Structure 1
Amino acid sequence: MTQRANVAAFDPGNGNGNARWLLRGVRPLGAAAVDMLLAGPVIVEVGPGLSAPGANVLDADGLIALPGLVDLHTHLREPGREDAETVASGTRAAALGGFTTVFAMANTEPVADTAGVVEQVWRLGQAAGHCDVCPVGAVTEGLRGARLAELGAMASSAAAVRVFSDDGNCVSDAVLMRRALEYVKAFDGVIAQHAQEPRLTEGAQMNEGAVSARLGLPGWPAAAEEAVIARDALLAGHVGSRLHVCHVSTAGSVEILRWAKSKGWRVTAEVTPHHLLLTDELATSYDPVYKVNPPLRTATDVEALRAGLADGTIDCIATDHAPHAPQDKETEWAAARPGMLGLETALSIAIMTMVETGLLDWAGLADRMAGTPARIGGLPAGHSPRSTDGSRDMAGVLSAGAAANVVLVDPAARWTVDPAAFASRSRNTPYAGRKLPGRVQATFLRGRPTVLDGKIV
């Protein structure tokens, strides 16, 4: 069956030129091969044997078409730490990884805790043009956990902030967390919590368990994450507001989230690719590339996280892309800053851990990496306040009339991770030299190619 959009509903010349792209033989969400016509910012037609005289034709035989991926948790470092990453370099990495929208965390220098800073980040994203950048506003001034930041001003700014987080720090004060949840409820915002009880993790270097005991490194107990999630879920239920839990890492956290959702509370959560694959055993190398916050956990935790993502207890995958300059990462373990690169490898790790294991099909993967994170982040079907061309975003949708945010993936490809070839300014990937499945061949942002043949356009 052929689907056609109402072409009178958009102007194909608005900001994207008159470019049209006919993608031949794509497999939407892994289904049977069809053709897909993109005209300006919209998917115009989907069906077999399409004809589009004058259109650019891309032979996509055998490629999986997914909606443009959405990352709720990206560190772009600009302003302030451009030695590690910039908005331009980070969004190039995002496009190569199949992302068309990233949410940029607030722990920049200065902190994104005012309308001025979030608008600066948003405009840098607009200027770079590789993907949409949605700034995340800080919950508290300077991420210090003492006073609420300008939440209302950031929400009403040109950046239209809807996600707020002190990521890197926990909002540990229960009264302040309650006030934040109450404040954002007025505009259906969401507080994204870095769940880490600070007193329980003072000096922590890795997961607390058998490996930390063997290595003699101070441990980060699972209870330090789980206690905060339980507290904040109760607060979200009491207030009736939206809570999002960043980078869930323990089996106990999955159980607490399952309980919170059974109550009907508005609680969502994300898991990172590295927590779906890697374990604390890697710390035995003392290679600081494996130092991350929250830390890598046990194989039992990895199994529970995969199951939780598969059954919907964990809502989505988010990269926690955390670039670091060499002087901050290539040092002794205790002095190294925590964090790993994620944007250029996230999809492949998700394919390896969730699709190749049979836990998710391609449609399920698209939901966890596009549709659901878009909904959590406030990117609804309809006009996005972050788009300047008036297109319909409809993130996570590949039907006629939806925004032409599309990624084409070669499911048969196997590629070896070479950090020197990354678009990111940093090189702190835990996957160097590893062969990964699935490769992004093309990314389209509102009908405009940002990646073709696996390279930035």
Structure 2
Amino acid sequence: MTTKLIKGGTVFVNGHLVKTDVRIADDKIQAIGNDLPAADETIDATNKLVAPGLVDVHVHFREPGQTYKETIEAGSKAAAHGGFTTVGAMPNVDPVPDTPARMQAQTSLNQKEGVVHIFQYGAITHGRTSEELVDFHGLKQAGAYAFSNDGSGVQTAGTMYQAMEGIAKEKMILAAHVEDDSLLFGGIMNAGKRAEELGLPGAPSVSESAQVARDLVLANATGVHYHICHVSTKESVAMVRFAKSQGVNVTCEASPHHLLLADQDIPANNSYYKMNPPLRHEDDRQALIEGLLDGTVDMIATDHAPHSQAEKSKDDMRGAANGITGSETAFPMMYTKFVKGGICTLEQLLNWMSTNPADIFGLHEAGHLEPGKPADIVIFDLTTQRTLNEADYLSKGVNNPFTGEQVYGTADLTLVDGKVVYQR
């Protein structure tokens, strides 16, 4: 039996920060407390934060089919670098995991290539864009942990209603990319003053909120657990708040970039600021923060979306791919701007980035440090200031607007099942 003792750190346990030690035996947490017996290896965590591995329910690993953008290996190493030990991989790969055989192949590949725990989404419809529903039961049996067409909104209400009925029957989560294509009008960023200043076509924010309104009514009718991906508008937040008060089974996530940036922060026509949903107005950003603080927004998820340099040639959003990387910058940016900035406590941030996503998505082995649970642990350095540097990224994608920021809260060590998967 191999044993490790993480000593002298501040440990996030049962929702509280406690000065204590953690003893690991093989792949599990054996004990948490003071005066624990010596171990084969002692890890000094003095002045460091010891937390459950972060949980990100929204990443894009691009393999198979687009490995020039990212691979499962690179994406999972990037996740570990950011302190994540459990991730949910979206189904916009090629082939799409839309049949039991494809789902089985995808989950096997994730297991073989990944260094963190990877849970795989199944598609809602065949090819992720058609109106033909997948075999929800078959995909669940083959390893799907939830269903999503992320990257595309389900355009027809009838299709969404039937999908919700089928997914509710399986007691699974439907994670929706909410976007009504008929309301985009060719826009490539949020419609408004900044789009006009940059001379770029704008898409109105109702393209999101109109579909949220539709889906909340359908979710209420079907009883499905409806989860909204990367919520970004004040109207969406208000509707989710109301729906929760009416007993609708709805949860939602916000991404770090929508919490940290508004469209007015876009410095120029720069494709590193092009994402979907786009950066919204400042009052939308404030509504997201209020939603997090009052429990309307349940969690933070990165929407880690790596692209090649050619697809993100910086000088023009037109024709550039949507999305930014997030796995390696999410926790340090949120800690620096929100915790050190006085917006929230460290405990709240850890709940949003670890405990809540694990609990809501039924990932019972993740999100908590407890004896008997897998030793999925991250040690963060909260006191040393570092610069987010492209050369340090482990993702194949470097399309990130936060590069160059001075941050605190970088990961020193990440363990998955007691094994080191990232070390500074």
Q: Is the 8 A contact 2:11 2:21 kept in 1?
A: no
1:10 maps to which residue? none
The Cα offsets for residues 115-163 of structure 1, whole Å up to 9 and x where unpaired, read as 2332233222222341011111111111123111232211001xx2131
2:174 maps to which residue? 191
For 2:109, which of 124, 141, 145 is the aligned residue? 124
Which is further off, 168-177 or 107-116? 107-116
1:85 maps to which residue? 70
Tell me the CA shift for residue 19 of structure 1: 2.1
1:286 maps to which residue? 269
**1:46 and 2:3 correspond:** no
CA distance, structure 2, for counterparts of residue 167 and residue 181 of structure 1: 15
Alignment of 1:42-81 (within 5 A): 42-53=28-39, 55-81=40-66
For 1:133, which of 111, 118, 132 is the aligned residue? 118
What do you get for the CA RMSD once the two structures are aligned? Answer: 1.5
* One-letter amino acid of the structure 2 residue matched with residue 36 of structure 1: V
CA distance, structure 2, for counterparts of residue 93 and residue 116 of structure 1: 28
1:234 maps to which residue? 217
* One-letter amino acid of the structure 1 residue matched with residue 305 of structure 2: A
Question: What is the percentage of aligned positions where both structures have the same residue?
Answer: 37
Tell me the CA shift for residue 402 of structure 1: 2.5
Q: Output the TM-score relative to the length of structure 2.
A: 0.96
Provide the secondary structure at the position in 2 that maps to 1:413.
coil
Which is further off, 212-221 or 105-114? 212-221
Question: Any stretches of 5+ residues in structure 1 without a counterpart?
Answer: 1-17, 381-392
1:333 maps to which residue? 317
Alignment of 1:58-457 (within 5 A): 58-157=43-142, 160-330=143-313, 332-380=316-364, 393=365, 395-452=366-423, 454=424
Which is further off, 296-305 or 26-35? 26-35
CA distance, structure 2, for counterparts of residue 310 and residue 67 of structure 1: 21
* One-letter amino acid of the structure 1 residue matched with residue 117 of structure 2: D
Which is further off, 283-292 or 263-272? 283-292
Provide the secondary structure at the position in 1 that maps to 2:158.
helix
Which is further off, 164-173 or 328-337? 328-337
CA distance, structure 2, for counterparts of residue 130 and residue 98 of structure 1: 12
* One-letter amino acid of the structure 1 residue matched with residue 405 of structure 2: R
Q: Is the 8 A contact 2:53 2:378 kept in 1?
A: yes
Provide the secondary structure at the position in 2 that maps to 1:77.
coil
* One-letter amino acid of the structure 2 residue matched with residue 440 of structure 1: A
CA distance, structure 1, for counterparts of residue 48 and residue 170 of structure 2: 40
CA distance, structure 2, for counterparts of residue 99 and residue 215 of structure 1: 36
* One-letter amino acid of the structure 1 residue matched with residue 412 of structure 2: Q
* One-letter amino acid of the structure 1 residue matched with residue 244 of structure 2: K
Question: Any stretches of 5+ residues in structure 2 without a counterpart?
Answer: none
* One-letter amino acid of the structure 2 residue matched with residue 353 of structure 1: K
Tell me the CA shift for residue 398 of structure 1: 1.4
Tell me the CA shift for residue 404 of structure 1: 1.4
Which is further off, 352-361 or 147-156? 352-361
